[in-house]
Amino acid sequence: MKTINSISKVTMLIAFVAFANTLMATGNLKVNILPLTAEKAVVAISNTAAANFQISIANEKGEVVYYKETDADSKDFRKVFDFSNLDKGDYKLSVTVDALTTERLFKIESKNIAVGKEKSILEPFFAYKDGVLKLSYLNFPEEDLSLNFYDRDNLVYTKEIGNKFNVSEGFNLSKLEKGTYSVVLSSNEKSYTYNLNVE
């Protein structure tokens, strides 16, 4: 659409620097599941900076079977989990610190607990000022991404971004009609929405 134009990479570099500072402040979040028996495992979480951890376990239907938010900031969390009351099947352990989420899939089987690879997801950085929308996102899973602009429920503009790791985009929205818009960055698994007012 003619009313939305991409802007220069220099402007996007400024946005990415602010985004990178958020990433560095968050630290390196590591999540491990260490099986002890067929029904018990140690969940070990560490972060280079002291933080409040939001910990959840969801089953394959997406139902949360465990949730905890730590009371005080710390660099480490360790707990022995007894999974004997859970059904056999696939589960996802998610740990969130600020805008960073690290996930680990695991499977409770008859004779053991199988642990999958660690996957990190950092929420995108959106900023809107002086008619310019800036977006930065580190696509850790390297999933195909699309960006959609909505005026209420009407699609105004769409862009296929692809699966590149470092997403840095800018859009001049100064020619859009006044109103409230939603910008949605989405993949097959997740979507992030940013609302803005064009005045």
Q: What is the pLDDT of residue 192?
A: 93
In three-state secondary structure terms, 156 is strand
> How high does pLDDT run on average in the chain?
86
Residue 25, pLDDT above cutoff 80: no
Please tell me the predicted confidence (pLDDT) of residue 26: 45
Mean pLDDT of 188-194: 89
Give yes or no for a contact between 135 and 29, defined as CB atoms under 8 angstroms apart.
no
- Look at residue 18 in the predicted model and tell me its pLDDT: 46
Query: What pLDDT, in 10s, does the model give residues 85-138?
Result: 999 999 999 999 988 899 999 999 989 999 999 988 888 999 999 999 999 998
Quickly list H helices, the chain: 9-26
pLDDT-derived band at 27, boundaries 50, 70, 90: low
What are the tokens at 159? 């862009």
| Dihedral sign (CA 136, 74, 40, 55) | negative
Q: Is the pLDDT of residue 161 over 60?
A: yes
Q: How much is the pLDDT for 72?
A: 87
Domains with residue ranges and CATH for the chain: 5-23+124-198 (2.60.40.3080), 26-121 (2.60.40.1930)
Rg (Cα) of the chain, in Å, rounded? 20
Q: Which residue has the higher pLDDT, 41 or 14?
A: 41
Higher pLDDT, 5 or 184: 184
The arithmetic mean of pLDDT across residues 133-149, rounded, is 91
Strand 132-138: give its sheet, edge to edge. Answer: 5-6, 166-172, 132-138, 125-129
Angle at the Cα of 35 (from 32 to 39), degrees rounded to 5? 130
